[in-house]
């Protein structure tokens, strides 16, 4: 393992039966192959990182700088940078696969863009309880209620939870366990759910969280 993360896409969710008979809900991720397009160095860029690409686009839809940057790998749809623990073992043009970076038992962080829900009210967006259901209330069932006082402060405070656009934001699922790796298909099964819709772009990397100490 040299690079600490890769790009991929979310496939969907399945159930995996463990060796001990437990049924685990897992998200299937198609990770890589990701060619290395650039290696950042502190001398030239001020920091160290490895830039990788994922997904291809037609040659006619890429401009000359994009074609020149990706070289023989062809135009790539997505680019991202990840840290590495051994930059000397990497070179531009090298292709990284899921099985080279991740193995069963690893803990990973997965980042994606959540599903956009559009304009939603307070009950759905912020889990408000709504108004009374009886005693003459006919149109207050999903109303937000009071949004501030009258003369003092005489305005609606910034950050007040109200109706508005919901979802469509970057979110992360952290410290997920890699349950299964299918190297020939580039698939990784991680325990639990992952933000985003099926076929959505995800970033997966070794977790930043420290392993918990086992109780004495």
Element (H, E) at 98: helix 98-101
Task: Report pLDDT digits (tens) over 92-122.
Answer: 888 999 988 999 989 999 999 999 999 999 9
Query: Which of 126-130, 169-173, 208-212 has the weakest average pLDDT?
Result: 208-212
Read off the pLDDT of each residue in 13-22 and give the average, rounded to a whole number: 90
Question: What percent of the chain has pLDDT above 90?
Answer: 69
| Residues 78, 31 contacting (CB under 8 angstroms) | no
| Residues 16, 182 contacting (CB under 8 angstroms) | no
**Nearest CA-CA partner of 14 in 3, 1, 5, 24:** 24
| Residues 26, 43 contacting (CB under 8 angstroms) | no
Read off the pLDDT of each residue in 138-150 and give the average, rounded to a whole number: 91
- The alpha carbon of 93 is separated from its chain's Cα centroid by a whole number of angstroms, namely 25
CATH number of 5-115+174-206: 2.40.30.10
The domain limits of the chain are 5-115+174-206, 119-167
pLDDT of residue 59: 87
Read off the pLDDT of each residue in 172-196 and give the average, rounded to a whole number: 93
32 vs 201: which has the higher pLDDT: 201
User: Does the pLDDT of residue 141 top 90, yes or no?
Assistant: yes
User: Does the pLDDT of residue 214 top 60, yes or no?
Assistant: no
| Residues 103, 13 contacting (CB under 8 angstroms) | no
Question: How far apart (Å, rounded) are the C-alpha atoms in residues 35 and 7?
Answer: 10
Task: Report pLDDT digits (tens) over 40-88.
Answer: 999 999 999 999 999 888 888 889 998 888 888 889 999 999 999 888 8
Question: How far apart (Å, rounded) are the C-alpha atoms in residues 36 and 8?
Answer: 14
Question: How far apart (Å, rounded) are the C-alpha atoms in residues 4 and 52?
Answer: 11
168 vs 89: which has the higher pLDDT: 168
Query: Which of 32-36, 40-44, 177-181, 211-215 has the weakest average pLDDT?
Result: 211-215
Structure tokens, 165 = 């656009």
User: Does the pLDDT of residue 211 top 70, yes or no?
Assistant: no
Question: How far apart (Å, rounded) are the C-alpha atoms in residues 32 and 102?
Answer: 11
Residue corresponding to tokens 């005489």: 154
Question: How far apart (Å, rounded) are the C-alpha atoms in residues 90 and 100?
Answer: 13
User: Does the pLDDT of residue 31 top 60, yes or no?
Assistant: yes
Question: What percent of the chain has pLDDT above 70?
Answer: 96
Average pLDDT, the chain: 90
| Residues 118, 165 contacting (CB under 8 angstroms) | yes
pLDDT of residue 2: 78
Question: How far apart (Å, rounded) are the C-alpha atoms in residues 67 and 42?
Answer: 25
Question: How far apart (Å, rounded) are the C-alpha atoms in residues 177 and 204?
Answer: 12
Which phi and psi (to 5°) does residue 57 adopt?
Answer: -130, 155
Q: pTM value?
A: 0.82
Element (H, E) at 124: helix 122-126
- The alpha carbon of 70 is separated from its chain's Cα centroid by a whole number of angstroms, namely 24
């Amino acid at each position: 393992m040299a690079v600490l993360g890769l790009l991929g896409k979310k496939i969907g969710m399945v159930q995996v039966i463990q060796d001990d008979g437990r049924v685990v809900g897992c998200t299937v991720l198609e990770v890589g192959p990701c060619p290395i397009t650039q290696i950042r160095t502190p001398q030239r860029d001020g920091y160290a990182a490895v830039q990788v690409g994922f997904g291809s686009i037609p040659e006619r839809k890429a401009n000359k700088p994009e074609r020149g940057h990706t070289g023989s790998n062809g135009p790539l749809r997505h680019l991202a940078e990840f840290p590495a623990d051994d930059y000397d073992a990497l070179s531009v043009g090298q292709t990284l696969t899921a099985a080279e970076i991740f193995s069963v038992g690893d803990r990973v962080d997965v980042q994606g863009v959540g599903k956009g829900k559009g304009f939603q009210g307070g009950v759905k967006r912020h889990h408000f309880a709504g108004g009374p259901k009886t005693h003459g209330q006919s149109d207050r069932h999903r109303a937000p209620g009071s949004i501030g006082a009258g003369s003092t402060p005489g305005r609606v405070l910034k950050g007040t939870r109200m109706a508005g656009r919901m979802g469509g934001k970057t979110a992360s699922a952290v410290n997920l366990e890699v349950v299964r790796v299918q190297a020939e298909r580039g698939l990784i099964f991680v325990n639990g759910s992952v933000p985003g819709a099926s076929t959505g772009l995800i970033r997966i990397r070794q977790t930043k969280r420290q392993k918990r100490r086992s109780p004495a």
